[in-house]
């Protein structure tokens, strides 16, 4: 039943009854509470929303990933049936740009079984209208794939999965929690430290008050998908803001109307995200027995795939838009824009050589 209480009131009631909750529980409620979660509400993307993503900046982003996919499909000897899964497809823009390019490869369209994994009903509607010609199926879980390899794309999906935070104190690492003080939501720490062996070696000797973040949800998703790729063949391409190796540091952030916002205020109306620990995702993929590439920056990846040439061709075809195309290209690859902050991760069947990762 749809409660008349705001999500904030529901969270406060839960804390008052059960005590403080972990950051992961809080983040999960804020983002995907069945009726009042941030990702159950209106379209969050674009100028009128809270943030903008690479595919919404330029068609070049998806087109280059389309070439990337065709290359991988050809390396796999052009299977007559394969699954293409996108995690968190947003407005469907990225997949529409990908498939406009990729379906020009003879045989690709006929072999394609398109799968989408999405939690937001409004965005699902937009995906349906943009992608229905490709006959997509929306997955509730990662089961029931068609025969053949599985190719997986995720842009800014993993950063939206809940994280836990631990803080180093003299007696060990304590979990950071959300509690109540004088009726207001506040951060606090669990009274008892966690067993030190629960932490990776990379953080064990950190200084006092250091914060360590871990997303068990992201690790679990990567583990399940990697096992599928190990069984059926294929590749996973994930692009997100994050760091290449597991490390300490606090990155949980709130964003509202294109500006940073307090994480504890307006639950369900603020986007919450954290930088992705690609080192942990590499570990999950390797444990499942598939190969991984060293993480590269989005700028290097797109430049290697030929964004310079694609921008040139688009500008020649649309001279009146040449300046906009240059600005979009710079935004995607320049170091002081998205080029360095965003990283590209790839895990794949052994033997494949994914383009864009040459050192």
Ligand X SMILES: C[S@@+](CC[C@H](N)C(=O)[O-])C[C@H]1O[C@@H](n2cnc3c(N)ncnc32)[C@H](O)[C@@H]1O
Residues in contact with ligand X by CB under 6 A are 31-32, 39, 45, 53, 55-56, 88-90, 94, 117-120, 123, 155-157, 160
- Closest approach of ligand X to the CB of residue 39, in Å: 4
Which 8-state DSSP code applies to residue 206?
Answer: P
- Closest approach of ligand X to the CB of residue 181, in Å: 30
- Closest approach of ligand X to the CB of residue 245, in Å: 23
Find all residues with CB under 8 Å of 215, minimum gap 6, and list them.
24, 158, 161, 162, 163, 164, 274, 276, 277, 280
- Closest approach of ligand X to the CB of residue 196, in Å: 30
Query: Would you say 12 or 156 has its CB closer to ligand X?
Result: 156
- Closest approach of ligand X to the CB of residue 49, in Å: 10
Which 8-state DSSP code applies to residue 49?
Answer: S
Query: Would you say 117 or 173 has its CB closer to ligand X?
Result: 117
Tokens of 241: 């803001």
CA distance 77 to 62: 23
CB 347 within 8 A of CB 278: no
- Closest approach of ligand X to the CB of residue 52, in Å: 8
CA distance 304 to 105: 21
Query: Would you say 32 or 59 has its CB closer to ligand X?
Result: 32
- Closest approach of ligand X to the CB of residue 350, in Å: 28
Query: Would you say 96 or 167 has its CB closer to ligand X?
Result: 96
Cα separations in angstroms, 20 against 31, 175, 177, 188, 264 = 18, 11, 6, 8, 13
- Closest approach of ligand X to the CB of residue 40, in Å: 9
Query: Would you say 72 or 221 has its CB closer to ligand X?
Result: 221
Q: Can you give the three-state secondary structure of 255-292, one letter per residue?
A: EECCEEECCCCCCCCCEEECCEEHHHHHHHHHHCCCEE
CA distance 314 to 58: 11
Which 8-state DSSP code applies to residue 45?
Answer: B
Measured from each CB, the residue nearest to ligand X is 88
Which 8-state DSSP code applies to residue 159?
Answer: G
Query: Would you say 85 or 352 has its CB closer to ligand X?
Result: 85
Cα 156 to chain centroid distance, Å, stands at: 3
Query: Would you say 298 or 349 has its CB closer to ligand X?
Result: 298
What is the rounded (10 degree) CA torsion for 267, 93, 108, 357? Answer: -70
Query: Would you say 128 or 169 has its CB closer to ligand X?
Result: 128
CA-based nearest residue to 52, from 88, 90, 98, 86:
90
């Amino acid at each position: 039943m749809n409660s008349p209480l705001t999500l904030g009131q529901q969270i406060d009631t839960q804390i008052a009854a059960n005590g403080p909750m972990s950051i992961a529980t809080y983040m999960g409620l804020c983002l995907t509470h069945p009726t009042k979660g941030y990702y159950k509400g209106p379209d969050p993307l674009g100028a009128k929303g809270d943030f903008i993503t690479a595919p919404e900046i330029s068609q070049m982003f998806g087109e280059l990933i389309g070439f990337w996919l065709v290359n991988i499909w050809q390396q796999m000897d052009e299977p007559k049936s394969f699954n293409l899964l996108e995690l968190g497809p947003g407005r469907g823009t990225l997949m529409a740009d990908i498939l406009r390019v990729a379906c020009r490869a003879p045989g690709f369209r006929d072999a394609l079984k398109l799968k989408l994994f999405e939690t937001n009903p409004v965005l699902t509607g937009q995906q349906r209208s943009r992608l229905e010609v490709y006959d997509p199926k929306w997955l509730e879980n990662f089961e029931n794939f068609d025969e053949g390899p599985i190719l997986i794309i995720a842009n800014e999906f993993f950063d939206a999965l809940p994280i836990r935070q631990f803080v180093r104190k003299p007696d060990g690492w304590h979990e950071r929690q959300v509690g109540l003080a004088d009726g207001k939501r506040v951060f606090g720490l669990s009274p008892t430290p966690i067993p030190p062996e629960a932490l990776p070696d990379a953080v064990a000797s950190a200084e006092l008050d250091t914060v360590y973040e871990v997303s068990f949800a992201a690790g679990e998703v990567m583990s399940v998908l990697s096992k599928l790729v190990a069984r059926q063949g294929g590749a996973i391409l994930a692009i997100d803001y994050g760091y290449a190796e597991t490390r300490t540091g606090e990155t949980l952030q709130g964003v509202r109307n294109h500006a940073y916002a307090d994480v504890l205020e307006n639950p369900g109306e603020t986007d919450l995200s954290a930088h992705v620990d690609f080192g942990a995702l590499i570990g999950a993929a390797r444990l499942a027995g598939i190969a991984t590439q060293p993480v590269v920056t989005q700028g290097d990846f797109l430049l290697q795939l030929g964004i310079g040439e694609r921008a040139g061709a688009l500008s020649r075809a649309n001279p009146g838009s040449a300046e906009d195309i240059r600005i979009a290209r710079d935004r995607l690859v320049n170091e002081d824009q998205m080029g360095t902050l965003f990283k590209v991760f790839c895990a794949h069947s052994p033997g494949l050589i994914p383009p864009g990762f040459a050192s």
